[in-house]
Structure formats: C-alpha cells, structure tokens
C-alpha cells in the first residue's frame, strides 16, 4: 500500500489548485494527482468541471463526460459526487453544453446500474419546455428508450408553437437513428404515431420539410481560373474564401494576373480579397509591396494588413524577419505575425516564442498563438521546440490543438515521460490512444 504523505492546508490548497487547472485543460494530470493523493478531497473541483463544460471549443470538442467519470469513479467521494450530479442535472438549467455533459454523465450512471439515474433522465425530460426547463440532449433519450424515446421527443417538439418548433428540427438525428436500427421502419412508426397524435404530426411535418443528407462524394479537384478568382472577388460581401487545394495546378499566368490586380485595384475591399488569395499560394513578384503594407499599424483594425502578413509568410528575407521581431517585442499577443517565422526561423527563436507564450494570461491569448506555433515547428523541426510547446501544453484548454502539440514534441524526440503518463487519462480519446502507442514504441526500443 502506498504510504500517504501528511500535507498542511497550504500544500493541500496548492494541489487542489493544480487539479482544477488540469481539469480546465482536460489533461491527465488531474488523474495522477487524484491517485497520488487519495486523502485530498477534490470533489469541489470535479463538480465545477461537470456543471460547466470547460473546453475551449465546446461545440467541436463535445462533452468531457468520459474524462470526468473516470475521475469520479477514482474519487473517495464517488457516491456523494454521483448524488450531487444527479441533483444538479434535475434542477432548472438552460440547455447548454454543461447540460449536455451532465446528461452524458447521468447516462453513464444508468449504464453502470446506479439507482435513480434512469428515473432522473426521464423525469428531467418530462419537464422539458416547462417553467424554464429546456429540452436536453435527445440522443440520451434515444439511447435509453429507443423508438419510444424518439416518439416522446417528437411529441414534446410538436407541442411547441410553430414559430419555436423550427429551432428543434433534427431530421439528421432521425436519419442516424434509422441507420443504427435497420430492423425498424422509423418513419413508418412516426407516421403511425402521427395519425393518433397531432403534436407528433407537427414534428413529422417539420422534419419532412428538410431534404435528407446526401452521401458525401469527393468531387474532382478543379484548379481556379482567373475568371473564378474575379467572380469571388466581385461577390457582394466583405470576405472571400479560397482553398489551397484549388490553387495547386493553376495556370501561372493567372496567378500573376491576380498579383497585378492587387497592385492596380483601387477598391480597398476588392484589394483585400485579392490579398486573401495569396494566403493560399505564393505571391509571384517581389514582396516589397506586401512588406510595405504589412509594416503598417493597427493590424487588428485593418484586415488588409493581416492578409499582407499572411502572404509574406511564403518569403525568406532579413527585413521580413526584422518586422516579425519588432512586432513580437511591441505587442502582448502578436499571433498575427507568428507566421512570418515559418520561413525565417533561426536557432534560438524558441526562447523568443516561449517568452511570448509566458506573456499570455488567459486561455484566449494562449489559443490565439497555437496555430502559428504549430506552423513554425512543422516547417522547422527543432529539439528546442520542447520549452514553448510544453508551455502551450500546460497552458491551453483546447484538446484538438493539443494533439498537434504532442505530435510535434514526439516527432522532435522531446516528449517527456511525464506528459506521456498524463496522456493516458487525457480528455481526448485520440491522445489516450497515442499514449498507448508511444509507450509500446518506447518499450520495444528499450529491448
């Protein structure tokens, strides 16, 4: 049995602070702390992370319920945590990402046979749309009740006033349920129920107004022509979007004409759109006009400056590097200029990047830097990436970018054993898998 170390209140508070920070990031350090210090009560921190989804991009990252449930099961306060979570799930709360996470957790409780979990799920559903309660994740209802659950959800949505009903259109969910349940004719069952219940008919009419999703088929890639570019630029909008895969294989003469258009265009909005094109392919002429524009002030207020900076990132030159270093020293979070180092990185620049990261004092500042940092080290493999990338790992709460950070550390041979241990309990499933792969690879090499 592991001997427990006696801790004073200050040491305990510091470990609880570290634990909460790990929860905010979604890293596995929280689990390692919980295992190493079972005598410490971390339940308040776990509850804070369950009620509110702490991910940076909650829509893309989704629920952290799997990650949190592993911590709950390891905790000595497991039973009390489960009771409290069910109680909070049952209380009045907006249907947001925190509610989805609570729903997922209570569903896991149900799957593990915890008494009262299913009752809480169904009771919470019954309150949908009444007295401030909103409809919680319907996927949970489908999982525990199947077709009956879909009909229950259809009735709830169909009871809403017509102007509100459209917000709950979810044909894609019905179609996915049909694919997973081929033995049931889902639409026929809905139609049968609709014949007896006007609310379900309202729901069925709503989803049948929407075309079913077509199976995605990758179309043949056709390079842009000059006419394509000019059509996009002439569109009545402030922004233009270009795709890099369509710039590949373009006629060089067309690319040169787009560059000439930048130099001659008088309309600032169109000039800005032409500049965006050269974020996806290299400007074919001398970079001097790009540098002149990129050197101007107030990049946050002038998108043309930002687009010029992005276009400059394809070039290697002392004056471009000098501009980057100047902006690094004069702006707190100079994320706009990081890409200038992609082709102008030099040994020792990792220290500069680390200092920039250390200036950042919140998750948004840190996240603003991560894409540029990844681009730099993708183009410039360097063992010195260890310090800035580790600072990013320990300061960023975006699991999706964390994968790229870990991958770069690993490919550069500087991924620490400590982080590998943490990855086994990370909120991101792909990172948990990567941890196992790395451990196996290191074990084989050691033989």
Q: Is the pLDDT of residue 399 over 80?
A: yes
Q: What is the pLDDT of residues 45-60, one digit of tens each?
A: 999 999 999 998 888 8
Q: What is the pLDDT of residues 364-392, one digit of tens each?
A: 999 999 999 999 999 999 999 999 999 99
Label each residue of 163-181 as H, E or C.
HHHHHHCCHHHHHHHHHHC
Q: Is the pLDDT of residue 217 over 70?
A: no
Residue-averaged pLDDT of the chain: 92
What pLDDT is stored for residue 97 in this prediction?
79
Considering only CA atoms, give the Rg of the chain: 27
- Separation CA 409–CA 417 (nearest Å): 11
Are the beta carbons of 342 and 376 closer than 8 angstroms? yes
Q: What is the pLDDT of residues 126-169, one digit of tens each?
A: 888 877 777 776 788 899 999 999 999 999 999 999 999 999 99
What pLDDT is stored for residue 6 in this prediction?
79
The phi, psi pair for 283, rounded to 5°, reads -60, 130
What pLDDT is stored for residue 96 in this prediction?
75
Are the beta carbons of 422 and 28 closer than 8 angstroms? yes
Q: What is the pLDDT of residues 78-136, one digit of tens each?
A: 999 999 999 999 887 665 778 889 999 999 999 999 999 999 999 988 888 877 777 77
Torsion, Cα of 117, 123, 126, 127 (10° steps):
-110
- Separation CA 406–CA 435 (nearest Å): 10
- Separation CA 300–CA 49 (nearest Å): 33
Q: Is the pLDDT of residue 2 over 60?
A: no
What pLDDT is stored for residue 7 in this prediction?
87
Give the pTM.
0.88
* Chain position carrying tokens 């079972």: 38
Q: What is the pLDDT of residues 232-274, one digit of tens each?
A: 999 988 888 999 999 999 999 999 999 999 999 999 899 999 9
- Separation CA 268–CA 301 (nearest Å): 14
What pLDDT is stored for residue 92 in this prediction?
72
* Chain position carrying tokens 């017509």: 162
Q: How far is CA 77 from CA 30, 34, 65, 73, 352, in A?
A: 15, 11, 17, 9, 44
Q: What percent of the chain has pLDDT over 70?
A: 97
Are the beta carbons of 27 and 422 closer than 8 angstroms? yes
Q: How buried is residue 303: exposed, middle or buried, by Cβ count under 10 Å (0-12/13-18/19+)?
A: middle
What pLDDT is stored for residue 317 in this prediction?
98
Q: Which two tokens stand for residue 344?
A: 């102008």
Are the beta carbons of 319 and 297 closer than 8 angstroms? no
What pLDDT is stored for residue 3 in this prediction?
58
Q: Which two tokens stand for residue 94?
A: 């907006």
Q: What is the pLDDT of residues 8-26, one digit of tens each?
A: 999 999 999 999 999 999 9
Q: Residue 380, Cα to own-chain centre: how many angstroms? A: 25
- Separation CA 204–CA 171 (nearest Å): 9
- Residue 1: pLDDT band (50, 70, 90) is very low
- Residue 216: pLDDT band (50, 70, 90) is low
Q: What percent of the chain has pLDDT over 90?
A: 79
- What is the distance between the terminal CA atoms of the chain, rounded to a whole angstrom? 30
């Amino acid at each position: 049995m592991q001997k427990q170390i006696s801790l004073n209140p200050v040491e305990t508070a510091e470990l609880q602070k570290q634990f909460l920070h790990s929860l905010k990031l979604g890293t596995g350090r929280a689990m390692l702390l919980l295992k190493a210090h079972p005598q410490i009560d971390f339940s308040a921190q776990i509850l804070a992370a369950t009620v509110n989804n702490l991910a940076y991009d909650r829509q893309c990252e989704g629920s952290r319920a799997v990650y949190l449930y592993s911590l709950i099961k390891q905790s000595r306060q497991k039973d009390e945590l489960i009771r409290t979570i069910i109680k909070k799930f049952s209380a009045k709360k907006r249907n947001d990402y925190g509610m989805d996470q609570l729903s997922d957790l209570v569903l896991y409780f149900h799957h593990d046979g915890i008494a009262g979990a299913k009752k809480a799920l169904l009771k919470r559903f019954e309150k949908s749309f009444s007295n401030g309660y909103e409809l919680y994740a319907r996927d949970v209802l489908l999982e525990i009740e199947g077709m009956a659950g879909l009909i229950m959800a259809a009735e709830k949505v169909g009871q809403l006033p017509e102007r509100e009903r459209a917000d709950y259109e979810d044909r894609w969910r019905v179609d996915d349920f049909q694919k997973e349940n081929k033995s049931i004719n889902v639409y026929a069952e809905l139609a049968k129920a609709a014949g007896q219940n006007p609310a379900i008919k309202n729901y069925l009419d709503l989803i049948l107004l929407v075309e079913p999703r077509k199976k995605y088929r990758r179309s043949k890639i056709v390079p842009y022509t000059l006419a394509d570019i000019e059509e996009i630029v002439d569109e009545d909008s402030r922004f233009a979007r270009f795709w890099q895969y369509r710039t590949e294989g373009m006629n060089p003469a067309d690319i040169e004409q787009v560059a000439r258009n930048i130099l001659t265009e008088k309309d600032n909005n169109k000039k800005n759109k032409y500049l965006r094109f050269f974020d996806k392919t290299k400007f074919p002429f001398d970079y001097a006009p790009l540098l002149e524009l990129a050197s101007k002030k107030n990049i946050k207020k002038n998108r043309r400056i930002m687009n010029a900076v992005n276009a400059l990132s394809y070039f290697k030159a002392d004056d471009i590097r000098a501009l980057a270093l100047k902006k690094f020293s004069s702006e707190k979070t100079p994320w706009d200029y990081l890409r200038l180092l992609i082709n102008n990185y030099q040994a020792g620049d990792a220290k500069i990047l680390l200092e920039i990261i250390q200036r950042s004092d919140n998750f948004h500042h840190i996240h603003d830097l991560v894409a540029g940092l990844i681009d730099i080290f993708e183009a410039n493999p360097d063992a010195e990436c260890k310090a800035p990338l580790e600072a990013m790992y320990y300061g960023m709460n975006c699991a999706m970018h964390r994968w790229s950070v870990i991958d770069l550390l690993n490919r550069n041979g500087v991924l620490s054993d400590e982080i590998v241990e943490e990855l086994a309990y990370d909120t991101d499933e792909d990172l948990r898998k990567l941890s196992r792969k790395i451990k196996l690879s290191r074990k084989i090499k050691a033989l």
